[in-house]
Amino acid sequence: MKRHEIKSDIAWATPTQIKVHGLDLCSEIVGVVDFGQMAFLEIFARLPSANEARMFNAMMVILVEHGITPSSLATRMTYCGAPEAVQASVAAGLLGLGSVFVGSLDNAAKMLQDALPDPQASVDLKEVAANIVSAYRGRHEIIPGIGHPFHKPIDPRTPALFKVAQETGFRGRYVELMENIGAEASKQYGRPLPVNVTGAMAAIASEFKLPWKMCRGLAVAARAVGLVGHIIEEMRQPMAEEIYYRIEHEATEHSRPRE
């Protein structure tokens, strides 16, 4: 059987030394690098500049906590059955971060990166945006990254992110393209469809040159932190068992004989 190489460049250790992405863990990371820089290091294999760190942190913190969601409920349900396996509760909550809630981030980033493979290319972004919107309309597909069913008239997270982008030099062509898509869609559909948080994140991730397939990874890592917060609350102030009792009762009432 032919053997292929197995190689990892992330980390190595000897009895006296540990290196992660080329940095000495004990002297160059612990006490020096913060958790946000460390996440950046894991994703980009280098430390961020001050502006990169500020922009990256802004993205990460927005992904951490979304309150009571199907994801945090799955975590709480799992904790209620396996409190000794906290890792399983976090994992259960992450598993629902699929096409419905987080997939639109990948989709929006793919849309931007497919349309603008080279952000320096001299193209008319208004025209590119018009073509994208027309194509989605033609296929009767929802355009990712614009409009929001709950946060109206605008998603307040978008200006917050774009403000940081402005201040850190990340307000580039992908942000511009995303805004043009929102404007063009609003025009073509005849109702306000401003850029939502997903569109804003996708644009900034693209400014970071993060391939769209990796965007979901950011969301998953950040949400793991938030799910630990839900486990801590569930430990002190549980809701899972009460939800289960209520739902079991209601869902089977129609068939259960009167007791």
Candidate list 115, 119, 126, 243; residue touching a second copy; CB under 8 A: 243
Which residue in the block uniquely carries the two structure tokens 């307040």? 156
Provide, rounded to whole angstroms, the least separation between the CB of residue 125 and a second copy.
Answer: 25
If one asks whether residue 4 binds a second copy (CB under 8 A), the answer comes out as yes
Q: What is the footprint of a second copy within residues 65-84 (CB under 8 A)?
A: 65-71, 73-74, 77-84
Task: Give the range of 63-71, 115-123, 136-144, 187-195 binding a second copy by CB under 8 A.
Answer: 63-71
Q: Do the Cβ atoms of 44 and 218 come closer than 8 Å? A: no
Candidate list 119, 137, 161, 194; residue touching a second copy; CB under 8 A: 161
11 vs 135, beta carbon nearer a second copy: 11
Q: Do the Cβ atoms of 130 and 184 come closer than 8 Å? A: yes
Q: What is the footprint of a second copy within residues 118-157 (CB under 8 A)?
A: 150-152, 156-157
Per-position b or e across 180-204, b if 16+ CB within 10 A of its CB: bbbbbbbeeeeeebbbbbbbbbbbb
Provide, rounded to whole angstroms, the least separation between the CB of residue 122 and a second copy.
Answer: 30
Q: What angle do CA 72, 210, 61 make, to 5 degrees?
A: 35
If one asks whether residue 51 binds a second copy (CB under 8 A), the answer comes out as no
Candidate list 26, 114, 135, 187; residue touching a second copy; CB under 8 A: 26
Q: Which long-range contacts (CB under 8 A, 24 or more apart) does 121-125 make?
A: 125/173, 125/176, 125/177, 125/180
Candidate list 50, 87, 121, 124; residue touching a second copy; CB under 8 A: 87
Q: Do the Cβ atoms of 193 and 230 come closer than 8 Å? A: no
Provide, rounded to whole angstroms, the least separation between the CB of residue 86 and a second copy.
Answer: 5
If one asks whether residue 213 binds a second copy (CB under 8 A), the answer comes out as yes
Which one, of 154, 165, 167, 160, lies nearest residue 205 by Cα? 165
Residues whose CB falls within 8 Å of the CB of residue 151, separated by 6 or more in sequence, listed in order:
157, 196, 197
**Phi, psi (deg, nearest 5) at residue 156:** -65, -15
If one asks whether residue 47 binds a second copy (CB under 8 A), the answer comes out as no
Cα 69 to Cα 84: distance, rounded to the nearest angstrom: 23
Provide, rounded to whole angstroms, the least separation between the CB of residue 118 and a second copy.
Answer: 20
81 vs 169, beta carbon nearer a second copy: 81
Provide, rounded to whole angstroms, the least separation between the CB of residue 124 and a second copy.
Answer: 31
Count of residues interacting with a second copy (CB under 8 A)? 126
The answer to whether the peptide bond before residue 153 is cis (omega within 30 degrees of 0) is yes
Residue type, 158: T
If one asks whether residue 231 binds a second copy (CB under 8 A), the answer comes out as yes
Candidate list 94, 116, 128, 133; residue touching a second copy; CB under 8 A: 94
